[in-house]
Structure 1
Amino acid sequence: MFDPDEVTTVTFDSYGTLVDVDDAERALADYVETPESVSRLWRTRSLEYSFLAGQIDAYEPFYELNRHALQYALDSHGVDLSADERDEILSVYHELDVFDDVRPGMERLHEAGYDLYVLSNGNPEMLDSLVDHADIEDLVEDTISADEIRQFKPAADLYRHAAGRTGTPIDRIAHVAGGQFDVMGADHAGMRTVWVNRDDSPPEPFDGEPDATVADIEAAAEKLTN
Structure 2
Amino acid sequence: MSFDPDRVTTITFDSYSTIVDVDAATQALADRVDDPEPVSTLWRYRSLEYTLVANYLDAYQPFYEMNRDALQYALDVFGVDITEDERDEILAVYHELEVFDDVRDGIERLRDGGYDCYVVSNGDPDMLSSMIDHADIDDLLADTISADEIATFKPAAELYRHAAARTGTPIDEMVHVTAIWYDVMGATHAGMQGVWADRKGRPWESVAGRPDLAVESFHELADALGV
TM bin, normalised by shorter chain, reads over 0.9
SS of 1:132's equivalent?
Answer: helix
* Distance apart, 1:201 and its partner CA: 1.3
Q: Give the Cα separation in 2 of the matches to 1:91 and 1:196.
A: 25
Amino acid paired to 1:73: A
Deviation for aligned residue 1:209 = 1.1
Q: CA deviation at 1:32?
A: 0.2
Offset at 1:45? 0.3
Give CA deviations for 1:115-148 in whole Å, capped at 9, x if unaligned: 0000000000000001100000110010000000
Which letter maps to 2:180? G
For these two proteins, the number of residue pairs brought into alignment is: 226
Residue 107 of structure 2 corresponds to residue 106 of structure 1? yes
Q: Is the 8 A contact 1:109 1:225 kept in 2?
A: no
Q: Quick one: which amino acid aligns to residue 123 of structure 1?
A: D
Aligned to 2:44: 43
Deviations along 1:175-219, whole A, 9 cap, x unmatched? 000000000000000001100111121112132211100112222
**AA matched with 2:69:** H
SS in structure 2 at match of 1:138? helix
Task: Report matched runs for 1:43-82 at 5 Å.
Answer: 43-82=44-83
Equivalent pair of 1:196/1:220 in contact (CA under 8 Å):
no
Range moving further from structure 2, 211-220 or 123-132: 211-220
1:211 matched to 2:206: no
Which range is displaced more, 101-110 or 196-205? 196-205
Distance 1:134 1:223 in 2: 24
Query: Aligned partners of 2:221 and 2:104: how far apart in 1?
Result: 12
Cα distance in structure 1, aligned partners of 2:57 and 2:75: 25
| Equivalent residue, structure 2, for 1:173 | 174
| Root-mean-square deviation over aligned CA pairs | 0.8
What are the ranges of 5 or more consecutive residues in structure 1 without an aligned counterpart?
none
Q: 2 CA distance for matches of 1:52 and 1:222?
A: 37
Q: C-alpha separation between the residues in 2 aligned to 1:192 and 1:177? A: 11
Aligned equivalents of 1:76, 1:225: Cα separation in 2: 49
Corresponding residue for residue 17 of structure 2: 16
Structure 1 segments, 4+ long, off by >6 Å, are: none
Work out the CA distance in 1 between the residues paired with 2:14 and 2:225.
Answer: 16
1:135-181 CA deviation, whole Å, 9 max, x = no partner?
Answer: 00110010000000000000000000000000000000000000000
Q: Percentage identity across aligned positions?
A: 64
Unaligned runs of 5+ in 2: none
Match of 1:141 in 2: 142
- Asked if the contact 1:18/1:102 (under 8 Å) is kept, the reply is yes
Deviation at residue 224 of structure 1 after TM alignment? 2.1
1:5 Cα deviation from its structure 2 partner: 2.2
Letter in 2 for 1:198: R
SS at match of 2:214: strand
